[in-house]
Amino acid sequence: MTTFVDNVTLHLRAGHGGNGCVSVRREKFKPLAGPDGGNGGHGGDIILVADPQTTTLLGYHRAPHRSSANGGPGMGDHRAGANGGDLELPVPLGTVVKDRDGNELADMSEPGMRFIAAPGGQGGLGNAALSTTKRKAPGFALLGIPGYEGDVVLELKTVADVALVGYPSAGKSSLVAALSAARPKIADYPFTTLHPNLGVVQAGDVRYTIADVPGLIEGASEGKGLGLEFLRHVERCTALLHVLDCATLDPGRDPISDLDIILTELAAYPVPEGQKPLLERPQLIALNKIDVPEGRELADFVTADLEERGYRVFEISTVSHEGLRQLSFALAELVEQGRAEIAAEPPRERIVLRPSAVNEQDYTVKVEGGSYGDIYRILGVKPERWVAQTDFANDEAVGFLADRLAKLGVEERLFKAGAIAGSTVVIGKGEGIIFDWEPTLTSTAELITAPRGTDARLDGDRRRTSDERRSTYFERMDAKAEARAELEREREAGLWKDSDHTEGTAMETEER
Ligand SMILES: Nc1nc2c(ncn2[C@@H]2O[C@H](COP(=O)(O)OP(=O)(O)OP(=O)(O)O)[C@@H](O)[C@H]2O)c(=O)[nH]1
Ligand SMILES: [Mg+2]
């Protein structure tokens, strides 16, 4: 809606976590004195910070790739790796953070507000931290997790310092054009302006922004005319400027009653929590169109009344540019005062936004059909993180992963989903990590999850049929008979002495 919307896509790469260390302490006369491998450091976060001193996203246009530091690896002697420092990126107030699909992630509206746009990776535990009473000397450590890598889109809605309000055709857009380089549409019919126009004014050393708002009429708060909807574009303004038309030909209208009606409508506008109601902000009055003789007369006539009500009044013409200089300096003064007040305010409690929280305990088991049979896919924060932490070249580390998965109840869930021994199980998206599943559960109650009358144990191909058993039995019997016959032949041939005979008997007992 507003003009001057700045837009930039940031490519972020947060620091990776450092790997944990495997190390064993050595002491004199005690070469294996316990594990002492330190933990890896955490990768640094990339944090957006709403900063009143920053006014543009230009710096990010020029350098859109940003990354934070990696965590250091753990070391022996219980030395932990250093954490990677966070990277803070200042953004102007009013910056809206979105993902690539346009979903809003954060509105950086409060000074000092922080948004963790890319969290750093967790460091891996060293073998010292992994030792327990049961596992006294772990021969493995956990790997560090990669930091978040992805894009965010920053959108800046420029926030006007001064909002110009008034009736349609009062000359608001003309005034924006006269004070700044902006060239909004100007015409002699009501509601020419359909969205706010923004202009930058330079008055002496002070530079500030002004925005006109579509004209307001009586009943605007009930939706008449274009309603009050557009005031949200200026609801963060420091000051208001009432533009009053002194040369209107409408019967029944005059600057004073126009002002009263606008004030009533503005009073009905609900500002967001934590902001000053519009009418409690500083306000100036511009009596416009004094290049028209009747206009000047009327302006002179009402000035005293308005001043009595406490307003500073400026008689101006956007055509002849009379009075504009004084007006622009008076506005600059208000803006400067407002800025000083904000700077003097005690810093608000820091608001920290994190990327949408997910339930870490949650995971899903999905069955996917494939050309090699069913695949059981496990998706979830914890299982996927654990896999990332596992050094698959280390059997102990793999065993530790299996224990963790079992504790989470993954086996039971796989059974319920229909997995059997030898099924293909994938953890994570895409290729993920692929396992041939070997269940460790053995108790009958857990095994019998199939309908009554069937039993998962019978489905396995490891159980022999009775035919198979019978044939092995006969094979063995034949072999025994063969061995006996052989011994008999040897004895008859006189190869045996009596004392050796016992061996044959012993062999037979063993065979039984
Ligand atoms: N004579 C004279 N005419 C003016 C002056 N300022 C504006 N006008 C005329 O008034 C008419 C309305 O001016 P705009 O600037 O479009 O008024 P606006 O307040 O923006 O009106 P909306 O956008 O409809 O709310 C135009 O025809 C302008 O030329 C002035 O100082 N003197
Ligand atoms: Mg206009």
CATH number assigned to the domain comprising residue 28: 2.70.210.12
**Sign of the CA dihedral with 61 first, then 56, 101, and 119 last:** positive
User: Closest by alpha carbon to 232, among 275, 203, 263?
Assistant: 275
Residue 356 located in a structural domain: no
CA of residue 208 to ligand 1 center, whole Å: 22
Highest mean pLDDT among 9-13, 391-395, 477-481: 9-13
Q: Name the burial class of residue 469, with classes exposed (0-12), middle (13-18) and buried (19+) by CB atoms within 10 angstroms of its CB.
A: exposed
Helix (H, G, I), strand (E, B) or coil at 427: strand
Q: Which long-range contacts (CB under 8 A, 24 or more apart) does 296-303 make?
A: 296/246, 298/246, 298/247, 298/254, 298/255, 299/246, 299/255, 302/246, 302/254, 302/255, 302/256
Which ligand is closest in space to the CA of residue 249?
A: 1
| Co-location of 151 and 175 in the same domain | no
202: tokens are: 């330079």
Task: Assess whether 83 and 134 both reside in one domain.
Answer: yes
What's at 338, amino acid-wise?
Answer: G
The residue-averaged pLDDT of 276-294 equals 93
Residue nearest to atom 1 of ligand 1 (CA): 289
Calculate how far, in angstroms, residue 167's C-alpha sits from the geometric centre of ligand 1.
10
Say yes or no: 34 and 169 in one domain. Answer: no
| Domain assignment of residue 289, yes or no | yes
Collapsed DSSP state (helix, strand, coil) of residue 47: strand
Residue to substitute in 169, 248, 321 for testing ligand 1 pocket (most ligand atoms within 8 angstroms of CB): 169
Note the pLDDT tens digit of each residue in 311-335: 999 999 999 999 999 999 999 999 9
pTM of the prediction? 0.56
**Given this model, what pLDDT does residue 159 score?**
67
Q: Whose CA is nearest to atom 23 of ligand 1?
A: 193
Yes or no: say if 56 and 116 are a contact pair by the CB < 8 Å rule.
no
Q: Cα separation of 158 and 27, whole Å?
A: 66
Residue 476: per-residue pLDDT: 78
The answer on whether 213 is annotated among ligand-binding residues is yes
Any domain includes 483: yes
φ, ψ dihedrals at 75, nearest 5°:
-135, 170
pLDDT score for 506: 40
Residue nearest to atom 27 of ligand 1 (CA): 188
Least confident of 285-289, 400-404, 468-472: 468-472
Residue 171 marked as a ligand binder: yes
pLDDT score for 167: 93
Ramachandran bin of 29, using left for φ above 0, alpha for ψ from -120 to 50, beta for the remaining angles: left
Check: CB of residue 240 under 8 Å from CB of residue 331: no
Reading the block at residue 34, the tokens are 């316990």
**Which residues lie below 8 Å from residue 167, measured CB to CB, with a gap of 6+?**
215, 216, 217, 244, 245, 248, 253, 258, 262
Pick from 176, 186, 212 the residue to mutate for probing ligand 1's pocket: most ligand atoms within 8 Å of its CB. Answer: 186
Whether the CB-CB separation of 214 and 184 falls below 8 Å is answered with: no
Q: Where are the beta strands (DSSP E) in 339-458?
A: 352-353, 363-368, 375-380, 424-427, 433-436
- The answer to the question of residue 240 being in a domain is yes
Give the list of residues 6+ apart from residue 359 with CB closer than 8 angstroms, or none: 381
Last-in-domain residue among 459, 481, 503: 459
Average pLDDT over residues 166-176: 93
For residue 193, give the ligand 1 atom closest to its CA. 23
CA–CA distance, 453 with 451 (Å, rounded to integer): 6
Evaluate the CA torsion angle 159, 12, 15, 142 in order and state its sign.
Answer: positive
Percent of the residues in the chain that have a pLDDT greater than 90, as a whole number:
40
Tell me: pLDDT of 298 over 70: yes
Quickly state the pLDDT bin for 299 (edges 50, 70, 90): very high
Pairwise pLDDT comparison (430 vs 463), residue with the higher score: 430
Residue 193 is labelled as binding a ligand: yes
Clarify whether residues 318 and 370 are in a common domain: no
Please give the Cα distance from 413 to 423 (Å, whole number).
Answer: 13
Query: Among residues 148, 145, 176, 37, which one has the least CA distance to residue 87?
Result: 148
Residues with Cβ within 5 Å of ion ligand 2?
Answer: 173, 192-193
pLDDT score recorded for residue 224: 83
- Residues 320, 375, single domain; the answer is no
Answer whether residue 353 is part of any domain: no
Clarify whether residues 235 and 324 are in a common domain: yes
Instruction: Give the separation between CA 485 and CA 342, rounded to whole angstroms.
Output: 109
Average pLDDT over the chain, rounded to whole? 83
Identify the residue with better confidence: 359 or 429: 429
Nearest to 358 by CA among 389, 379, 386: 379
Q: Is 192 annotated as a binding residue?
A: yes
Question: Nearest CA to 8 among 66, 58, 68?
Answer: 58
Pocket test residue of 173, 174, 292 for ligand 1, highest count of atoms within 8 A of CB: 174
Least-confidence region, from 72-81, 406-415, 472-481, 499-508: 499-508
pLDDT score of 237: 87
What is the 155 CA–ligand 2 centroid distance (Å)?
A: 25
Lowest model confidence (mean pLDDT) among 37-46, 68-77, 319-328, 392-401: 392-401
Residue of 89 and 433 predicted with greater confidence = 89
Looking at residue 444, its pLDDT comes to 39
User: Do 121 and 30 sit in the same domain of this protein?
Assistant: yes
CA–CA distance, 14 with 148 (Å, rounded to integer)? 5
Q: Do 167 and 154 sit in the same domain of this protein?
A: no
Question: For residue 174, which ligand has an atom nearest its CA?
Answer: 1
3-state DSSP call for residue 291? coil
Q: What's residue 42's pLDDT?
A: 96
Residue 492 or 456, more confident = 492
- pLDDT class of 497 with cuts at 50, 70, 90: low
Asked whether residue 173 is marked as a ligand-binding residue, the answer is: yes
Residue 183 DSSP symbol: -
The CATH number assigned to the domain holding 281 equals: 3.40.50.300
Per the domain annotation, does 39 fall within a domain?
A: yes
Q: How many residues does the chain have?
A: 512
pLDDT of residue 123: 95
Distance between CA atoms of 300 and 294, rounded to whole angstroms?
10
pLDDT recorded at residue 347: 62
CA of 214 to the centre of ligand 1 (A): 12
Classify residue 410: in a domain, yes or no.
Answer: yes
Examine the fold and report which residue of 111, 127, 158 is the final residue of a domain before the chain moves on: 158
Residue 351 lies in a domain: no
Q: What is the pLDDT of residue 504?
A: 42
Range of the domain at 137: 1-158
Q: Torsions phi, psi of 503, nearest 5?
A: -55, -45
By CB neighbour count within 10 A (0-12 exposed, 13-18 middle, 19+ buried), where does 29 fall?
Answer: exposed
Range with the poorest average pLDDT among 124-128, 336-340, 440-444, 486-490:
440-444
From 459, 477, 496, the end of a domain falls on 459
**107-138: pLDDT as tens digits:** 888 888 899 999 999 999 999 999 888 888 89
| CA of 470 relative to ligand 2 center, distance in Å | 100
Residues 245 and 291 in one domain: yes
Best CA proximity match to 276, nearest among 212, 206, 342:
342
Question: Is 354's pLDDT higher than 80?
Answer: no
Q: Are residues 449 and 377 in the same domain?
A: yes
When pLDDT is averaged across residues 146-157 and rounded to a whole number, the result is: 88
Give the count of beta carbons closer than 10 Å to the beta carbon of residue 253: 14
Distance CA 208, CA 201 (A): 5
Name the DSSP class of 315.
Answer: E
pLDDT tens digit sequence for 366-379? 888 766 678 889 99
The CATH number given to whatever domain includes residue 437 is: 3.30.300.350
Q: Are 168 and 31 in contact (CB under 8 A)?
A: no
Nearest to 168 by CA among 269, 305, 261: 261
Does residue 214 have a known ligand-binding role? Answer: yes
277 is in an annotated binding site: no
Is residue 299 domain-shared with residue 330, that is, in the same domain? yes
Band of the pLDDT at 474, cuts 50, 70, 90? Answer: confident
- What's the gap in Å between 110 CA and the centre of ligand 2? 30
| Nearest to 34, CA basis, from 122, 130, 146 | 130
How many domains are there within the chain?
A: 4
At residue 351, the pLDDT reads: 64
Q: Are residues 159 and 236 in contact, defined by beta-carbon separation less than 8 angstroms?
A: yes
The residue whose CA is least distant from atom 2 of ligand 1 is 289
Residues with CB under 6 A from ligand 1: 166, 168-174, 186-188, 190-193, 212, 214-215, 247, 288-289, 291-292, 317-319
Same domain for 441 and 425: yes
